[in-house]
Structure 1
Amino acid sequence: MVPQPFPLVCLPFAGSGAGFYRAWQEMAGPQQSVGVIPVQLPGREELFLEAPFTDAIEAAALLAPRIVELTSGVPDFGIFGHSLGAVLSYEIARELLRIGHPGLRHLYVSGSPGPGNGRDARATGLRDDEFIARVQEFAGYRHAAFDDPDLRELLLPSLRADVAMHENYKPSSDEPLDLPVTALRGADDALVTREHARQWSATTSAGFRYIELPGGHMYLSDGPGALLSAIATG
């Protein structure tokens, strides 16, 4: 019997949508051991007309029922998020455990310091050009869409909302999760240090693992192979 892929619910990073992860569903290779389940956020792609989230705790409470639907009938699954997606994943995991939803087996957080540790420099409130430059500095890359004035006007509201949600985030609790946690980081990430990523060890009483993968802060934009292989192997 062929083993079934391990279902992995994936939360977008700031400014992105489920389309980033839908592309992973098409790819062949070792990552077939993981079944990617993208989660869409309001304010982008097919949900463009919906108001974006502005509070991570409220977002988690609203997203948790959607994830219950997406994982209906799945015996076990993991949750993954990068940067903003990491704190959303953490709060969603906490909410799923609170309501007793069965099946959640692992939390994977990527490109993020521990949930109680934000960055000192902020982008929220800056003028458009300064805001985009600051976000580029944080992420280590610049999306080509922001060089198109029309696309920039369309994309900025959701990106601003995401960044503000992330920068204003405070954890809902400091009680450790009864859930294994794996923190992942690009080895050359200049934004999130190894020490930052290891802060996630304090969020669990059920086992912690730290993994470094090739690349910088946005290592996962180079392709999901190494990431999904690391998840599939433990």
Structure 2
Amino acid sequence: MGAWLRCYQPRTTAAVKLFCLPHAGGAASAYRAWPGLLGDGIEMHAVQYPGREERFREAFIDDMDVLVERVAAAIRPHTTGRYALFGHSMGGAVAYEVAAHLQRLGSPVPAQLFVSGRQPPELHWRGELHTRDDDGLTAELIRMGPTNAALVSEPELLELVLPVVRNDYRLMETYRPVARPPLQCPITVLHGADDPELTVEQARAWGARTERGMRFHVFAGDHFYLVPQRESVVATVVDALRRACAVTP
């Protein structure tokens, strides 16, 4: 699978491949627990961005266009069969841009695009968080998800995490979406009810990004709702893929 994709539980007879893209500051291991919940009909591949985990010696990518081109190049060989994309937060923006990039190339589009905790590109807002000092970035992490407060008590872990977070915030805050034709695949939107960064109205606006229909799901929790709600989130993904790809348990 090369440097970009991690398949924690290969399933050679699976009907569909699910490619999962991590949030800002995240890594492929954010999805490590998913394969055991997906069932035999779905083979999951987590995208590993450079500069983290076993790719920690590689240079970060802080340009959305470059990241999208490289992720799409890694996924494109797998588009001859049924596949889907899932992205949370920053990963949702990357997943959308990858789907749009593959559509422009004339590659088969995903059977489903899952976007979690992310507004559509026309509502993207710019910021300056990546220019803040370490204390400022740490405060932002805690605001986004109170469970991140554990980082403060682990200085060595925080030292490793903050450069990744700063890079990814730079990527998102310099991201300039352009108008693109609607996707020719359905979109499933997932939203944490108490997400401080995303309203229901903003999340529902993803419906304008597809000509194949949009489904919307709300879960209890904040921006990182998908951690405590993992089983419910994965069940929602499986249900959507069963409808789209005739996946059996």
Q: TM-score range by the shorter chain?
A: 0.7 to 0.9
Query: Residues 188 and 215 of structure 2 are in contact (CA less than 8 Å); yes or no, is this contact kept in structure 1?
Result: yes
Distance 2:44 2:66 in 1: 24
Q: Counterpart in 1 of 2:19?
A: 9
The share of aligned pairs that are identical, in percent, is 34
Q: Counterpart in 2 of 1:19?
A: 29
Give the stretch that moved more between structures: 45-54 or 97-106.
Answer: 97-106
Q: Do structure 1's residue 94 and structure 2's residue 104 form an aligned pair?
A: no
RMSD between aligned residues: 2.1
SS at match of 1:209: strand
Structure 2: which 5+ residue stretches go unaligned?
1-12, 241-249
Q: Do structure 1's residue 63 and structure 2's residue 84 form an aligned pair?
A: no
TM-score calculated relative to the size of structure 2:
0.83
Structure 1: which 5+ residue stretches go unaligned?
none
SS at match of 1:107: strand
SS at match of 1:233: helix
| Inter-CA distance 103–206: structure 2 relative to 1 (3 Å threshold) | closer
Distance 2:147 2:181 in 1: 35
Q: Do structure 1's residue 43 and structure 2's residue 60 form an aligned pair?
A: no
Aligned length: 227
Distance 1:72 1:176 in 2: 19
TM-score calculated relative to the size of structure 1:
0.88
Distance 2:79 2:184 in 1: 21
Distance 2:187 2:44 in 1: 18
Out of 184, 189, 195, the residue aligned to residue 190 of structure 2 is 184
Give the stretch that moved more between structures: 169-178 or 210-219.
Answer: 169-178
Query: Residues 116 and 170 of structure 1 are in contact (CA less than 8 Å); yes or no, is this contact kept in structure 2?
Result: no
